[in-house]
Amino acid sequence: MDRTHELLDPIQQTGEERMVLNLGPQHPATHGVLRLVLELEGETVVNCKPVIGYLHTGFEKSFEVRNYLQNVTLTDRMDYLAPLSNNFGYSLTVEKALQIEVPPRAAVARIALVELTRIGSHLTYLASQAMDTGAISIFLYCFREREKLLDIFELCSGQRMMTSYIRPGGLALDLPPGFEKSVDSFLNEFPARLAEYEALLTENGIWQERTVGVGILPAEDAIALGVTGPNLRASGIDWDIRKATPYGGYEEYEFAVPVGTRGDVFSRYQQRLTEMRESVKIVRQALNRLPAGPHMTRDRKVAYPPRSELATSMEALIHHFKLATEGYRVPAGEVYQAIESPRGELGFYLVSDGSSRPYRLRVRAPSFVNIQALARVAAGHLVADLIALIGSLDPVMGEVDR
Amino acid sequence: MSEQQAAVAEATNPIPTPVVAKVREQFGEQVLEVRERLGETTIVVRSEAIVALARFLRDHPDLAFNHLSDVTAVDYLNLNREPRFDVVYHFYSIPKRHRLRVRAPVPEDDPTIATLTVLWPGASFPEREVYDLFGIQFAGHPDLTRILMPDDWVGHPLRKDYPIYGEEIEFSHNRETVERKTLGYG
C-alpha cells in the first residue's frame, strides 16, 4: 500500500485529533496582552479565538466622572502608540459639540503632529512585524527613527508618549522654538531611511516567503468584519476618512490614498510604507504654511485666560475660577466624530446632558474591531505564520481593551 | 459656525433627507423619531425592527450602508427616561460616503434586542461588549459571553447604578454606616 501521501500530509495522519494551544497573554509575539486560544491540527491552525480584556481599564466609565479637560489625559492611554491621534479625535468631538473654532496655527500644527504620530506608529508596526519574522536589525533601525519623533513630542509637550498636547480649543502650549527645525531635519532624513528599510525587506527572499500570500483578507470579508484603516485599504478598498469626510483641515492638503491589491501580509506591509511617505508630504505642507498667532481659542468659556490677565481683569479671574473648579459645559445632545487614526476609524461618540462631564463617551477603537479578522485570516495557516499575521493587523491592546 | 465649517459639515453629510425618506417609506410606524443635529442624522426605531432596518440600509442600492461602524449603548437611568437603555448603531456607507445613527430603545425589565451578526459578523465583539458592560442581551448572537470583564464578574459596569469605585471609602463621619468587608487576609 502506498503511504507516501499519508506520510507527507500530517493533517491526514492526525485525522480528527486536534490540540488546543494557549498563546499568550504574556507571549512576546502577541503585542502586549493578547491571548489566543488555538485549535491545531498538527501545526496548522484550524480555529483561533482571541481572548481579550487583560488591559481593561474602564476608561469609558472614568470619562463620566471627569470633566472635559481632564478626560484628555485618559485618551492618551488608549492607543499608546498614537496618543496625539487620540487627543485629536477627542478634541474634535468636543469642539463639534461646543461648536467652537480652533485658531489656524493650532489647526495646522495638529495636522503636522498627527501625521508625525502616524509615521511613529507605522514605524512601530514595521519594527515589530520585522522582529516577529526574525529581522531584528529592522526593529532597532525603526526605533531609532521613532526616538526622534518622540523627542519632537517631548519638545512640544514635555512628555514622550502621554502628551495630552492637543486639547479642545487648540493646543496645550504654543509650539516651542526649535520645533520647525527639528521636524524639518526629521523630514529631510526620513525618506532616505525608509528607502533603506525597504531595500532590506521588499525584495528580500526570506521576507517575501514569510509575507506574500500569507493571511489573505478578501475585501468583502474585511467589510463584513468591520475592518478599517490600512488593513482595509491593503485589501483594495479605497476608504480613508481624511479624504472621504475631511476633518480638522485635511481638505487643504494634497496627498494620495494608497490602496493595495492582494490583502496579504505583504500588502499590509507595503500599505504602511506608502502611507508613511504620504504622511511626510502632509507634514511638509503643514510646516510650510504654519502661521503665526494664538495656539488656543480666545473663547474664554473654554480656554483659560492668560496668566497676565488674572491680576488686572475681574472677568478673567471669574473665568479662570469657573474653568478650574467646574470646567466648561457642553450643550446637551449627541455627537459622533471619526478620524483616521494610524489603525483605522477611531470614533468618539459623545452624549452630553449639558453638564461639565460627559454623560456617556464611547470610543470606537479600530484595533478592537480589527482584531476580529484574526480568526478569519489565521485559519489554515501554520502557527509560525500566525505570528506574522498578528503583527500585520497591528493591534494595540491598550485600545482593544480600553 | 463659519461658512467654511458649514461647507465642510455639509460635505461630511451630504443631505441625508433621501435616506430618511426611504426609511420612513419602508418602515413607517416603526420609526419613532428622526433627529438632525450638527449635520448628523439620527433615526430612532422600535427595537423589533432593527434587523430588518439594518438589512434594508445595507442592501438598498441608494443607501448602501455597507459598514457597521459601531454598536454601543447608553443608560438613561440618571435622566429618568423610559425605556432605560438605547442601543446605538453607527452605519457608514463606504461607496456613498454617508453616515447614519440608529437608536433602538430597550426597556430595563427585558433588555433584549436581535443581533446584527447575521448581517455583519464584525458586530460580534461590539455586541459582546455591550452585553458585558450594560447587560443587554443580543438574541441570536453565536457567542454572547463577557469580553472585557472576567467571566465570573457580577454586574455590568457601565450601567449608571454601578458605582465608579468598588466600595464606599471610610471616613470619620461615615464610619458607622460604611459596609465593612472582610478581606480575608489580616
- The answer to whether A149 touches A116, Cβ cutoff 8 Å, is yes
| Out of A20-24, A57-61, A289-293, least confident range | A20-24
**Residue that wins the pLDDT comparison between A201 and B8:** A201
Q: Report the C-alpha gap between A33 and A397 in whole angstroms.
A: 7
pLDDT, position A209: 87
Q: Report the C-alpha gap between B156 and B129 in whole angstroms.
A: 10
Chain B residues near residue A226 by CB distance under 8 angstroms: 67-69, 120, 122-123, 126
Q: Are strands B98-106 and B40-45 parallel, antiparallel or unpaired?
A: parallel
Q: Report the C-alpha gap between B1 and B16 in whole angstroms.
A: 20
Query: Does the pLDDT value for residue A7 go beyond 50?
Result: no
Q: Report the C-alpha gap between B163 and B185 in whole angstroms.
A: 24
pLDDT in tens, A346-390: 999 999 999 999 999 999 999 999 998 888 888 888 888 888 888
Note whether B5 contacts A401, CB cutoff 8 Å.
no
Fold assignment, B3-154 = Beta Polymerase; domain 2 (3.30.460)
Note whether A53 contacts B88, CB cutoff 8 Å.
no
pLDDT in tens, A135-193: 888 999 999 999 999 999 999 999 888 999 999 999 998 999 999 999 999 999 999 99
Three-class SS of residue B29? Answer: helix
Three-class SS of residue A364? Answer: strand
pLDDT, position A298: 85
B1 vs A: CB within 8 A: yes
Q: Are strands B67-75 and B85-93 parallel, antiparallel or unpaired?
A: antiparallel
In chain B, the residue whose alpha carbon lies closest to the alpha carbon of A226 is B122
B83 vs A: CB within 8 A: no
A220 vs B: CB within 8 A: no
Beta bridge partners of B86: B74, B105
- Give me the helix-helix angle, A104-132 and A265-289, nearest 10°: 150
Query: Does the pLDDT value for residue A109 go beyond 90?
Result: yes
Q: What is the mean pLDDT of each run of 10 residues along chain B (186 residues)?
A: 49 60 82 85 90 90 89 90 91 90 92 91 92 92 89 87 74 73 45
Hunting for cell 449635520 — which residue is that?
B39
**Angstroms from A176 CA to nearest CA on chain B:** 28
Of the candidates A194, A87, A81, A94, the residue with the CA atom closest to the CA atom of residue A145: A194
Q: Report the C-alpha gap between A4 and B144 in whole angstroms.
A: 45
- Provide the CATH number for the domain formed by A59-401 in this structure: 1.10.645.10
Q: Where are the alpha helices (DSSP H) in B13-164?
A: 17-27, 50-59, 124-134
Note whether B121 contacts A347, CB cutoff 8 Å.
no
pLDDT, position B40: 87
pLDDT, position B16: 52
A244 vs B: CB within 8 A: yes
Average pLDDT estimate for A119-142: 90
Q: Report the C-alpha gap between A127 and A139 in whole angstroms.
A: 4
pLDDT, position A16: 63
Q: Which helix (H) or strand (E) holds A341?
A: strand A333-341
pLDDT, position A38: 86
Note whether A336 contacts B40, CB cutoff 8 Å.
yes
Note whether A245 contacts B133, CB cutoff 8 Å.
no
In chain B, the residue whose alpha carbon lies closest to the alpha carbon of A368 is B125
How far are the Cα atoms of A318, A359, A383, B108 from residue B79, in angstroms, in the given order?
30, 10, 51, 14
Hunting for cell 466600595 — which residue is that?
B167
Q: Which helix (H) or strand (E) holds B7?
A: helix B3-12
Note whether A225 contacts B5, CB cutoff 8 Å.
no
Which value does ipTM take for this structure? 0.85
In angstroms, what is the C-alpha Rg of chain A?
23
pLDDT, position B160: 87
Residue B169: CB atoms within 10 A of its CB come to 7
pLDDT, position B178: 67
Note whether A338 contacts B69, CB cutoff 8 Å.
yes
Hunting for cell 503636522 — which residue is that?
A112
Query: Does the pLDDT value for residue A108 go beyond 90?
Result: yes
A61 vs B: CB within 8 A: yes
The set of residues, in sequence order, having a beta carbon less than 8 Å from that of B44 and lying 6+ positions away, is B31, B32, B33, B34, B35, B86, B102, B103, B104, B105
Query: Does the pLDDT value for residue A11 go beyond 60?
Result: no
Name which of B91, B125, B127 to mutate to probe chain A: the one with the most chain A Cβ atoms within 10 A of its Cβ: B125
pLDDT, position A385: 87
Residue B153: CB atoms within 10 A of its CB come to 12
The pLDDT confidence band at residue A95, using thresholds 50, 70 and 90, is very high
pLDDT in tens, A301-331: 888 888 888 889 899 999 999 998 888 999 9
In chain A, the residue whose alpha carbon lies closest to the alpha carbon of B118 is A224
pLDDT in tens, B25-68: 888 888 888 888 888 889 999 999 999 999 999 988 888 899 99
pLDDT, position A187: 93
Query: Does the pLDDT value for residue A13 go beyond 60?
Result: no
Chain B residues near residue A251 by CB distance under 8 angstroms: 8, 11
Average pLDDT estimate for A244-266: 90
Three-class SS of residue B137? Answer: strand
pLDDT in tens, A220-234: 889 999 999 999 999
Note whether A360 contacts B75, CB cutoff 8 Å.
yes
Query: Does the pLDDT value for residue A4 go beyond 50?
Result: no
| Alpha carbon distance, N-terminus to C-terminus of chain B | 61
